[in-house]
A and B are shown apart, each in its own frame.
Chain A
Amino acid sequence: MTVAEFKPGGGVGKSIPLMGNEAEPTIFELSVENRQGHSFRATDVPEWSAEELVSAEHLRTEPLEIAAVSERDLVSHYTRLTHRQYSNDLGAYPLGSCTMKYNPKLCDEAAALPGLGRVHPSAPAWLTQGWIELLDDLSNTLCAITGMHAVTLQPPAGAAGELTGLLLMRAWHESQGRQRKTIVIPDSAHGTNPASVTLAGYDTVTIPSDDRGCVDLDAFRAVMNEDVAGVMLTNPNTLGLFEEQIQEIAAAAHEVGALLYYDGANLNAILGVVRPGDMGFDIVHMNLHKTFAVPHGGGGPGAGPVGVSKRLAKFLPGPLPQRNGDGTFEWFTPAESIGRVHAWHGNSLALARAWSYILANGGDGLRRVSEMAVLNANWLRVRLRETLPAAYDRPNMHEFVATATALKKATGAKAIDVAKRLLEEGFHSPTMYFPLIVEEALMLEPTETESPQTLEALAQAFERIVAEINDNGPAMAKAAPTTTPVRRVDEARAARILVPTYDAR
């Protein structure tokens, strides 16, 4: 096999070691009674006592212990915590399904603009024209990207978008005088799909994938009937494979009056290439924290807008932004709206970040994003063919699923051992054991922002790990990681002896 040799130079996105190998006390252990670091504005407001302001039955007299630290200690504490944390800015994060691309700093600056931050959500529309225009622009552009007719920006995360989409399905069927019962989902789907289905009051029907890793069209047609409210699909699917029979799937679903739902977790693969609306989808959610560079924040906040076809637009949650004929902006609520799915207008600052990212990329840049995401993933799949082969070794989109089955059979080392050993090499691990239909799965999504040099370094790290296991057995991998802030964590103990707070210790 030929190893591509890229020009020397080119930074490699990895980081070893993380500092912070010493345990950090909690903020509570750093506290000293009566120490304080806060500062309040001088206001001259009359200084009524607590007893004068709150009647005895409501007033708490005992202290509510929080912490008691100087600002200096607070800063040191949190800075030391960050030294115990891997991040995308440090290096590659090839977590399949999560689209951990580099998040441009432009977006941080945009989201920090005081003109966006200092706006109360209840302020009337005529005081918040800039915000409504921004959200209207974003809505229109997301429609253009997905090929949908209208969008709600309210859902604050992907799972919230799923539930919103399913409630829209419910409203649609009810408006047609139908009682539908089930939602059809492939066995490769994200776990949020079936969980959202339950919350929407439907039952899940799971269909198997075929031997190519795609929806088994015969099995799919066999479950299509008048009970089916809708079908939830990810395309490309969670194996990173494009569902080539999507038109046949859409036709079979629509024939029985079911709606087709697009899980936008993998939208990063198809920007400017193909649109869910053109594939026949009726409802689409987008994870702006994946495709549109809203940083993941250690687990949120994200944003999960939902786009719909024309016939469903009247059910969207309101209020929605709207441009008037005179160039001003206002909110409106569609005629048969299912109601609010967010207290205000969604995770607005995350939406603003996404808009700044879209502005900087434009239509040409977004197409390039998908091209490079797909090129990187295909290159890595081929590069790792002898080391960790793909479970379905054919052209993929933005990610692929490798399997450690052969390695496990030969040596006893599992996918998790490879993943933990990779941490010592300075890279974040791939997604492990997902999708469920692949044994010993390692799901790799390099994203478009990793350079060829980084991909080559990642591939070499995998090669070293696998060679070491083959030569010396799995012991080192099973003991890994040893160079990280903590070693392998006892998850079973955490569940058995629950310590959810410092006070429970």
Chain B
Amino acid sequence: MGHYVPHTDAEIEQMLAFVGLSSLDELFAMVPTALRLSGGLDMGDGLSEYDAMAEMERLADANDSSLICFAGGGAYDHDIPSVVRRLSGRTEFVTSYTPYQPEVAQGVLQALFEYQTLVSRLAGLPVANASLYDGASACVEAVNLTVAASGKKGVLLSRGVQPNWRAVMRTMAAGTGHELIDVPLRDGVTDWSAAYGAGDVGTVMVQYPNYLGCLEDVSAARSLADSLDAKLVVVSDPVSSGLLHTPGSLGADVVVGEGQPFGTPLSLGGPYLGLFACKLEDVRRLPGRLVGETVDADGSRAYVTTLRTREQDIRREKASSNVCTNQTLIAVTAAIHLSWLGTSGLRELALRCARGTRYAHEGLLRIDGVEAFAPALTLREFAVRTKVPAETIVERMAAEGFLAGITLDDEYGAGLLVAVTEKRTKAQIDRYVEAFEKVVR
């Protein structure tokens, strides 16, 4: 039996009498008898909190969460400072609803306004929304926006974009009829040569740095988009933004990405955070919620969700997106983490990831039987080719205490994708390289 309903038996009697009923069953008199569930739900009775927590602990302990993480691929093992956990766990952020009554929701609204400002700066574009579900959903919505804006259904999609995100885009294309055209990689970066002259293309999409960790030539993608009269979507890693030119300054029309690195645990992949930024000219097609600054009846500064006429509850079948609930709490978390890092800290974070990545990369390449995957410059992760299958390496490295990386899908060719964050010490990387040498023998 649940512990969270307050009613006493006497109160239940009083309330039933007040509405003219004599039993709780009568509350459901309008449900046809034949449909009513007799005998209750086929599941156990309620547990005490102690026992429920014990079961959750048993399940948690059945995972191997002790491995030192060298896996990335869109989900990174960054430090989460105490202040981020504590502030984002404040009950006012956790247990409030979407800010439909702005007069009592200025806390969430202002936090989102600051989040939008931060995402806009990372992207180098003037508008950012209040979040989408994750990197994959941000990619899907970017295509929806650019196809609608260009009126052309073809999408040139670099294979350097995270493969699961591309998989989600393919699933959604079954409904929208968008035509996704995979563009292959060569030497670690997108080979656009075959894409020139493609017909009916309204979108060019590239990831920077890409799935293999390589730095793409975004200007080349921009030129291609210009030649096709298409929009350029850049899938950007927000941590790398600490060192790289903003995608907006490189010509992106839409910038999307995964915000998990800012304060969100790996947690099997969710809930994460979809970053989305665009130009002013596309703001009326922006998916999801948007917070804007305004004034209240006294002329004081206030915030409110705005351009609501884009949204599904008003435009219904004519809406540009069906997004309603998004990831507000994760967006607030990211804003707190980014503010804690600050201008100098974001650069320092990116730099430390890049240093660890180079140190690990060089260490692995010194091992006999390990080869560079691609000649292109990498920043926060890299792939290697090994004689021993990557799956075997992951298995053997787990016995050594490491999650070695991600086994690359066949479309890339056999290889292991390795990410190094600011959490990895020289000693850990040295031990990782040592163990790697042992397991590839």
Rounded to whole Å, the gap between the CB of B141 and the closest CB of chain A is 10
Q: B65 to A167, Cβ gap below 8 A?
A: no
Q: A120 to B75, Cβ gap below 8 A?
A: yes
Is the C-beta of A325 less than 8 angstroms from some C-beta in chain B? Answer: no
Known pairs A64-B241, A375-B24; A133 contacts B59 (CB<8 A): yes
Q: B246 to A501, Cβ gap below 8 A?
A: no
Is the C-beta of A367 less than 8 angstroms from some C-beta in chain B? Answer: yes
- What residues on B are CB-neighbors of A272 within 8 Å? 37, 40-41
Q: A78 to B336, Cβ gap below 8 A?
A: yes
Q: B94 to A195, Cβ gap below 8 A?
A: no
* Nearest A residue (CB) for B266: A120
- Taken residue by residue from 76 to 92, chain B's Cβ proximity to chain A (1 for < 8 Å, 0 otherwise) reads as 01010101001101111
Which of the candidate stretches A122-130, A216-224, A254-262, A469-477 sits at the interface with the other chain? A122-130
Known pairs A53-B379, A500-B283; A34 contacts B344 (CB<8 A): yes
In Å, the complex CA distance between A63 and B245 comes to: 10
- What residues on A are CB-neighbors of B194 within 8 Å? none
In Å, the complex CA distance between A485 and B127 comes to: 26
In Å, the complex CA distance between A201 and B317 comes to: 11
Q: B302 to A44, Cβ gap below 8 A?
A: no
Rounded to whole Å, the gap between the CB of B430 and the closest CB of chain A is 9
- Taken residue by residue from 8 to 33, chain B's Cβ proximity to chain A (1 for < 8 Å, 0 otherwise) reads as 10111011101110001001111110
Rounded to whole Å, the gap between the CB of A158 and the closest CB of chain B is 6
Chain A stretch 257-281: residues in CB contact (< 8 A) with chain B: 270-275, 278-279
Q: B19 to A378, Cβ gap below 8 A?
A: yes
Q: A362 to B1, Cβ gap below 8 A?
A: yes
Chain A stretch 280-295: residues in CB contact (< 8 A) with chain B: 287, 289, 293, 295
Is the C-beta of B375 less than 8 angstroms from some C-beta in chain A? Answer: no
* Nearest A residue (CB) for B57: A113
- What residues on B are CB-neighbors of A36 within 8 Å? 342, 344-345
Q: B268 to A204, Cβ gap below 8 A?
A: no
Q: A85 to B321, Cβ gap below 8 A?
A: no
- Taken residue by residue from 301 to 316, chain A's Cβ proximity to chain B (1 for < 8 Å, 0 otherwise) reads as 1110000000000000
Contact partner of B107 (CB less than 8 A), chosen from A7, A35, A83, A287, is A83
Q: A198 to B424, Cβ gap below 8 A?
A: no
Known pairs A6-B11, A100-B97; A501 contacts B113 (CB<8 A): yes
Q: A110 to B64, Cβ gap below 8 A?
A: no
Rounded to whole Å, the gap between the CB of B207 and the closest CB of chain A is 13
Q: B343 to A342, Cβ gap below 8 A?
A: no
Chain B stretch 292-307: residues in CB contact (< 8 A) with chain A: 292-298, 300-304, 306-307
Rounded to whole Å, the gap between the CB of A69 and the closest CB of chain B is 6
Rounded to whole Å, the gap between the CB of A106 and the closest CB of chain B is 5
Q: A395 to B131, Cβ gap below 8 A?
A: no
Q: B28 to A485, Cβ gap below 8 A?
A: no
Is the C-beta of B271 less than 8 angstroms from some C-beta in chain A? Answer: yes
Is the C-beta of B197 less than 8 angstroms from some C-beta in chain A? Answer: no
Contact partner of A487 (CB less than 8 A), chosen from B112, B297, B341, is B297
Is the C-beta of B269 less than 8 angstroms from some C-beta in chain A? Answer: yes
- What residues on A are CB-neighbors of B348 within 8 Å? 38, 40
In Å, the complex CA distance between A302 and B144 comes to: 22
- Taken residue by residue from 24 to 64, chain B's Cβ proximity to chain A (1 for < 8 Å, 0 otherwise) reads as 10011111101111001111111111011101111111111
Rounded to whole Å, the gap between the CB of A148 and the closest CB of chain B is 13
In Å, the complex CA distance between A170 and B172 comes to: 11
Rounded to whole Å, the gap between the CB of A77 and the closest CB of chain B is 8
Known pairs A144-B42, A349-B267; A502 contacts B322 (CB<8 A): no
Is the C-beta of B396 less than 8 angstroms from some C-beta in chain A? Answer: no
In Å, the complex CA distance between A62 and B436 comes to: 39
Is the C-beta of A334 less than 8 angstroms from some C-beta in chain B? Answer: no
In Å, the complex CA distance between A345 and B363 comes to: 33
Q: A298 to B98, Cβ gap below 8 A?
A: yes
- What residues on A are CB-neighbors of B63 within 8 Å? 115-116, 119, 127-131
Is the C-beta of B196 less than 8 angstroms from some C-beta in chain A? Answer: no
Q: B37 to A273, Cβ gap below 8 A?
A: yes
Is the C-beta of A505 less than 8 angstroms from some C-beta in chain B? Answer: yes
Is the C-beta of B177 less than 8 angstroms from some C-beta in chain A? Answer: yes
- What residues on B are CB-neighbors of A124 within 8 Å? 391, 394-395
- What residues on A are CB-neighbors of B307 within 8 Å? 495, 498
Is the C-beta of A82 less than 8 angstroms from some C-beta in chain B? Answer: yes
Q: B176 to A199, Cβ gap below 8 A?
A: yes
Contact partner of B71 (CB less than 8 A), chosen from A41, A120, A428, is A120
- Taken residue by residue from 422 to 434, chain A's Cβ proximity to chain B (1 for < 8 Å, 0 otherwise) reads as 0100001101101
Rounded to whole Å, the gap between the CB of A41 and the closest CB of chain B is 6
Is the C-beta of B69 less than 8 angstroms from some C-beta in chain A? Answer: yes
Q: A348 to B168, Cβ gap below 8 A?
A: no
- What residues on B are CB-neighbors of A420 within 8 Å? 101, 103
- What residues on A are CB-neighbors of B192 within 8 Å? none
Q: B317 to A120, Cβ gap below 8 A?
A: no
Known pairs A28-B114, A301-B271; A68 contacts B46 (CB<8 A): no
* Nearest A residue (CB) for B293: A499
Known pairs A452-B7, A495-B306; A297 contacts B322 (CB<8 A): no
- What residues on A are CB-neighbors of B28 within 8 Å? 273-274, 374
Contact partner of B113 (CB less than 8 A), chosen from A26, A31, A275, A450, is A26
Q: B317 to A197, Cβ gap below 8 A?
A: yes
In Å, the complex CA distance between A484 and B56 comes to: 40
Known pairs A121-B268, A199-B322, A374-B27; A40 contacts B35 (CB<8 A): no
Is the C-beta of B423 less than 8 angstroms from some C-beta in chain A? Answer: yes
In Å, the complex CA distance between A109 and B60 comes to: 12
- What residues on A are CB-neighbors of B152 within 8 Å? none
Is the C-beta of B6 less than 8 angstroms from some C-beta in chain A? Answer: yes
Given contacts A69-B342, A128-B63, 11 further A-B contacts (CB under 8 A): A53-B354, A86-B104, A114-B65, A127-B403, A157-B326, A192-B312, A247-B35, A297-B328, A452-B6, A486-B296, A489-B295
Q: What are 30 of the A-B contact pairs (CB < 8 Å)?
A: A27-B335, A36-B345, A40-B348, A46-B355, A53-B358, A67-B343, A74-B87, A86-B105, A98-B97, A113-B56, A119-B267, A123-B71, A129-B62, A131-B268, A158-B325, A160-B137, A270-B31, A273-B31, A274-B36, A287-B325, A338-B171, A348-B271, A350-B270, A363-B43, A366-B41, A372-B12, A420-B103, A488-B296, A494-B294, A502-B113
For the complex of A and B, 5 pairs with smallest distance between CB atoms: A344-B269, A115-B60, A85-B107, A365-B2, A130-B62
